[in-house]
Amino acid sequence: MAGVLTRLTSVLMFCAASTDSFHSSQLVPESLIISSFQESLQTVDAAASRGFDPQLSHMYALSRRPASETQHLSRSAEIFHLTLGLLKEKASRRHERSLAVSELLSAEAAERIANLSGCPRALHPGTCAKDGKYRSISGVCNNRKNPLWGAANAGLARWLPAEYEDGENQPKGWNAGRRYRGFQLPLVREVSNKMVGSSSMAVPEDSSYSQMLVDWGQYIDHDISFTPQSSGRSRCLQTCSNAEPCFPVQIPKDDKLSGSKSCLPFFRSSPACVNVHAALQRQQMNSVSSFIDASSVYGSSAALEESLRNLSSAEGLLAVSGQYSDGGRPYLPSAGPSACLQEPGSGPAERVECFTAGDSRVNEILPLSVLHTLWVREHNRLAGRLARLNPRWGSEVIYQETRKIIGALHQIITMRDYVPKIMGREAFEEYIGPYSGYDESVNPSVSNVFSTAAFRFGHVTISPILRRLNESFQEHQRFSSLSLQQTFFSPWRLVREGGLDPVLRALLGRPAALQNQEHLMTEDLTQRLLVLNIPDSLDLAALNLQRGRDHGLPGYNDWRAFCGFGRVESRSDLMEVVGSGDSVQKVMDVYGHPDNIDVWLGGLLERPASGARTGPLFACLIGKQMKALREGDRFWWERPGVFSPKQRQELQTHSLSRVICDNSGVTEVPLDAFRRSSYPEDFVSCGNVPSMDLEAWRDHL
């Protein structure tokens, strides 16, 4: 309450001191601003105090809980946007007509309310150091002229303006009965049931690529984007009405997913503290740095980074578990007590707590935990070698130099080995092409459409089964295959059931699931998605569609036009890009008009180009994003001066297969970890896998 009174006093002082600063066109009196601000502040703080009730917000909330700095900024943005909404509602009633916020407030008044809400002021370029040798942990000041481009807790980039039902905040589908091109938008669960849900057919296998391609995509997605959800989510578990921050997924009457309930809970993404003086449209936040910088290993905030380090080490090491060992190799440190699942029948003394890492989603599925663990081991391996090579270096220099190398390897593996496979070599050359240097005019921030739609193409390639393989790459005798559900939030399965090696062999030796129009997503994701703070099964396809509407993403046709493709105006046009008459019939029956198609679904339905795993639209959007992440990164590994020519040469010899060889018990690997490989003919001994020579990092001073 003291905080509320202090903030309210500030508002009163602001209003008293700045009456003359409001434009004459402003339609709201200061008293209305004060009351709306006070109401918003109390509402957000009261909701937040209930938001992490351990009885309601158990597993999922904890596993995806953003850093404290992000939570603070989310709270500030929610106060600001709720205040704008209340002002709009009250003023519209007073004037007996619908009003936009931009009609009510001057830009100066809106910006002052944002500041009072706790939104930070713009960062002045002059605050950026001129001689920083290493990238900041948050990504701030990567671009010295625009310090927040790509930084953690900044807004997702908008490549097209948001489309909200009230022009400013309300998601598509918020107002019942609203029509688009003569049709109501279909319920997202209806779209999932008719267009996405798996048939009874067997999951097709990818003839070219391994399961590692799928899991690297999820891992690197977590390195560059994380949109936090609004605070005060617990009340969304008890309502089927659209009321901030709740935007529940409505369930068709004949749908059995939720039993007797008419909806499933959905929490809106937290707004971001950006653009308050411009369109006043709701924007969403990226709580991690946009750059491919291994923030999944090191975090995106100073506090998290420090907590992940072994500060007692003279070798710049990362912290590891002191409790468990994987054949002499370390696991990630644990956070306890935690809500991770436990081995059936185990007692309190046998608990295996959630792992901690640079990204809070580390425990979501076992392959993610495995990849996180690999890179922490690789950091410590390289740091130890650099320390022996350069005995004069202190722990901080060793840590930073190792972090720099690990970040470069993430960039190389992603851009050289991963991206061309998913978008196709031809599209890669068209949209990305060879590196031409750093361009300070390029905004590298992850875009809303990339994070919320295009890069979620990978959800349809998730396999319903995780195999575990022995040294001969056959089904493991002791550790059987797991259903997807059994891999959720279960670090105990690594600690108690064979460590990383059986899972790594499966990622290398098993094919990826192949998306096609008859099998877009496994039923474990559309019918049995596990989220433990919610008592019902969820539907990932419906959640993806609802998230796109929550973010106000323009539709499929608008993004086709953005990429220079022709708009789909008819069934015959759809047939050209989709290629399946049955899919065209279903999508038109569901949406009524091509302009209404959600971008995530439209992109998925397009036929992939030869050698690609995405259609033309997603290839364009992914390509544009990856090029921006490369050209707009002042610390990109290829930029002259970031590494020496000899160091760049050595970095290119390294590979994900080499990282596996050096940090696990796997002794045979394919040279390309993402290629589908048959054992033993496509595998080589780790002794024959090239490795970089760290002599290039010897300090001769």
Would you state the pLDDT for residue 318? 98
- Kindly state the average pLDDT of the residues 337-359: 92
Question: Per-residue pLDDT tens for 160-181?
Answer: 999 999 999 999 999 988 999 9
pLDDT band (50, 70, 90) for residue 65: low
Give yes or no for residue 592 having a pLDDT over 90: yes
The Cα–Cα gap between 184 and 178 comes to 6
The Cα–Cα gap between 78 and 41 comes to 9
Question: Per-residue pLDDT tens for 29-43?
Answer: 888 888 899 999 998
pLDDT band (50, 70, 90) for residue 233: low
Would you state the pLDDT for residue 55? 37
Q: What percent of the chain has pLDDT over 90?
A: 66
Q: What percent of the chain has pLDDT over 70?
A: 88
Give yes or no for residue 222 having a pLDDT over 70: yes
pLDDT band (50, 70, 90) for residue 326: very high
Q: What is each CA distance from 354 to 58, 179, 501, in whole angstroms?
A: 13, 46, 19
- Kindly state the average pLDDT of the residues 51-66: 48
pLDDT band (50, 70, 90) for residue 562: very high
Would you state the pLDDT for residue 17? 40
pLDDT band (50, 70, 90) for residue 23: very low
Tokens describing residue 224: 């560059």
Query: For the range 346-352, what are the long-range contacts, defined as Cβ-Cβ under 8 Å and sequence gap of 24 or more?
Result: 346/492, 352/324, 352/491, 352/492, 352/495, 352/496
Residues catalogued as catalytic: 222
Work out the burial of residue 123: count CB atoms within 10 Å of its CB; fewer than 13 is exposed, 13-18 middle, 19 or more buried: middle
pLDDT band (50, 70, 90) for residue 660: very high
Give yes or no for residue 269 having a pLDDT over 80: yes
Would you state the pLDDT for residue 536? 58
Would you state the pLDDT for residue 515? 77
Would you state the pLDDT for residue 184? 94
The Cα–Cα gap between 658 and 691 comes to 6
pLDDT band (50, 70, 90) for residue 103: confident
Least confident of 242-256, 391-405, 544-558: 242-256
* Coil vs helix vs strand at 40: helix
The Cα–Cα gap between 330 and 316 comes to 16
DSSP state of 691: -
Would you state the pLDDT for residue 26? 61
- Name the average pLDDT for the chain: 88
Cα-based angle 450, 74, 111 (whole degrees, multiple of 5): 95
DSSP state of 161: -
Question: Per-residue pLDDT tens for 440-469?
Answer: 999 999 999 999 999 999 888 888 899 999
